Chains A and B, each alone.
Chain A
Amino acid sequence: MIKIGVLGLQGAFREHVRSVEASGAKGIIVKRVEQLDDLDGLIIPGGESTTMRRLIDKYDFLEPLRQFGKQGKPIFGTCAGMILLASEIAGSDNVHLGLMDIKVERNAFGRQRESFEADLDMKGIAEGYNAVFIRAPYILEVGAGVDVLATYNDKIVLAQQGQFLACAFHPELTDDHRLTAHFVGMVENSKKTLAS
């Protein structure tokens, strides 16, 4: 069975596990670096990116996470997780994992009172998908190898680059598991490729 870890330092990680399991894979909460070895793919959940980064540093997760991605294993970053994946953050010299060639802006849709739900069409994945944006970031620019899979009001909110997937919203908060299922599919393919 495909094993997908959810980084469980802070944030909505249990909901992601539920969504992974509803999509037919095994979900595992990851709190320690050594757990990464056993996984086929990883989700970095929504939460507070500054808090997560501090805990990532504290427990020496940064380099092992980078290596996990560089081995070709898929990583899915949602909201704060997208910020952690990005190679550039607007208005900041800070880069966290820097695995994906995207430039993001934090809290780009505004504060909590501007947070919203909206229907999205995700290229090749789902139409009419109810996406929940909470103090959400968006992607300002993407590099050459990045596919833009969804936009909202012309802002990029879902993108994929090889084994990396990033979204600005929270797929774990609803019962629509189509995006998680897409990621599970990415992990299945990569497991086959990495095995051969």
Chain B
Amino acid sequence: MEEFHRSISLPFSFRKLKKEIQQGKYHQTQIRSIIWRICLGCFSQEPNPKEFCDLIHKHRERYSLLKKKYIRTFKVAGNKKKNNNSSYNKKENTTRIKNQNKDYDFSNLILLDVKRTNAGEELFKKNETKKLLFNILFIYQKQHLDLGYKQGMNDLLANIFVVVYNEYITNENNDCYSILMDNNYIEEDCYLIFEHLMEKFRNVFLSVKQDNNKKNKKRNKKKIDKSKEDNQTKTTNFNTEGIIISPPLAIKSQNKAKPKINKKRKIPKIVKYCIKMQNVYLKRFDEELYKNFQLLKLEPQLYCFRWFRLLLSREFSINKILILWDYIFSDPNPIEFVSYFIVSMLILIRDQLFGDSTKVYKKLFSYSYDGKFDDIINITKNIRKPDEKTNKMIMKIKKRKPSPMYKHVIKSNRQPRAVNSRKNQPNPRSRKNLPNNEQIKIINKNQIKRYFLEKQNQKKKNKLLNEKKIILQQILSKVEDQMIPIDFIENPIQNIQEIIFNNLYHSQEIQKKLYRPLGDLKNVLLKQSSTSNLKDINEYNQKFNLNNNNYSSRGDIGSKNNIVDKHKTRDENLSNLKDINVKGIFKNEKTETFIEFSNVLCNKETIPRDNILINNTQIPNIFIKSDNQNKKNPIDDWSIIIYSFTHNAYSNRKRKIHITEDTQFDLFTKTNFKKNYLNNFNNSQSNSFFVSNKHIPCVLNFKYIAENNPILI
């Protein structure tokens, strides 16, 4: 009661209420049924509290009329059907019977589903509840023949019913509050809320056929109208003007032509939402996960379909769903909210979404997140806000030219390089557009960062990690012993890519050894916020024990110095991308060789290209140098690192690889590398050649040294 008066006190506006809901003030509300009615637009304008009652009365009357109309006729129809079956065939108009049979089928369908909704709960075992659910669904189906009844509606309705049933009271005072919550009208109000809910999420339930039918119907209506007009003109205007008949005819012929175009396979809107979720939102925020899904050939509509259609109501418990629905209903763009929510759902369990396809599928199709539910909502908010403007930007770019994104990235970055003026500025574009929001952005991102840090701590406990480590060790041991059979490299290319990619990247220890915070969101953030985040970097380094000492503890003196130097320069010139980039060393203890990773790996493999767009990064050349000087026996020293070029955003691009003169090629004979490339190399008689993305270069006993020279081939 008090809550009601407080929230609906004058001056009262829907917008204010919705804002408050978005802020999470109504988690424990007792007037959710009223809030939902407001959010879903049951009250068309913004009335006084007293006018609420009038409106609700009208709705209730309307429903009772509908109920009289449909439920009765249905009963009659059902009886007649039985009569027909039991040999007493007294036939009336055949058309009528057909109609009734249709009703009967739908009612059967609805009955089946009503029986199965939340069947475990006491409330739903009652016959009254079943009747209520059935009535509402049946009437809705009759009232909205174009949409009909679809599986899933029953789940949505059940949740509404739970809310209304629990909140409604006996009407004693006859004031506004108790009229709105009168428990004599549970069914009526459930229908009202349900109808408006369906209105809002209609697209989620539409199938392609219905979409077309709707249009056709409209067309037919138009046709009928026009033909009527035709007749009228014929009859009435015939005497005055004889020419009028021709223009409608022209329109008719146009109408005939259009449906042929519609015969193409159309995608229903819900599938579009799913695809957009994965290909746009997820890709933007977590490109790696997106790529992994592509690798698994996982289409979003398979796992997202239910999430969208049921507004996630089977994924979480009812209490959480009610809170979630508050957010969804009060949002100006509910579908977008759901999409982002799904993205954050995925991100929060992302560590479990890599690796074996069976595991990933299982996880996706029975989603569970151990942490707090609020986490998901907070992340949803955070990833959504800062992206809105970049979203628009990207949309604009896409509209301009249909070619893939990265081309624009490189082109747009090329110019500032030539001018050489933007190097020390963080990002002029964002400054111009978002002078005030920049700080807020960073705060939001820090929050997200924290989530990731927490998540990485959880990783330690994860058994998966151990498995991955073992696999990695196996691979590396094979690698060290040069036991990799040719088939292993050649044949299941995708598998090996997957394994190595996942293992190298996800096991934390190896991350420390090799990759540092490679690909972590932190990097992304570092880049975007440039110099303002110096402190954060230090914090981050400490947390991950990634300070310089630890970092190069196993390295020999020379390389240590080098790295330290690089670090210094990195901290000095944060705006200079060359130095921000992740560097790492992997040491092979047996052979005492080093492989240095630098921005070659991190730029291409892990950091989403959107960030590269912002930061003028360009594709560096990859230099492979042999490091024979300190080695006793070069061939023993071969250590191997395999990584694929196919995983990155530049996959369509060829990359130049330089090999210095003293590089030994003996080992290439063991792999297919020689067949494909060495001949080419010898023929060209130059010290560089091209590697296309299809092949895996095996780099043995070499150092990677990345240079920042851009290549554009």
Please say whether chains A and B are actual partners in one complex: no
Q: Which B residues lie at the A interface, using CB under 8 A?
A: none
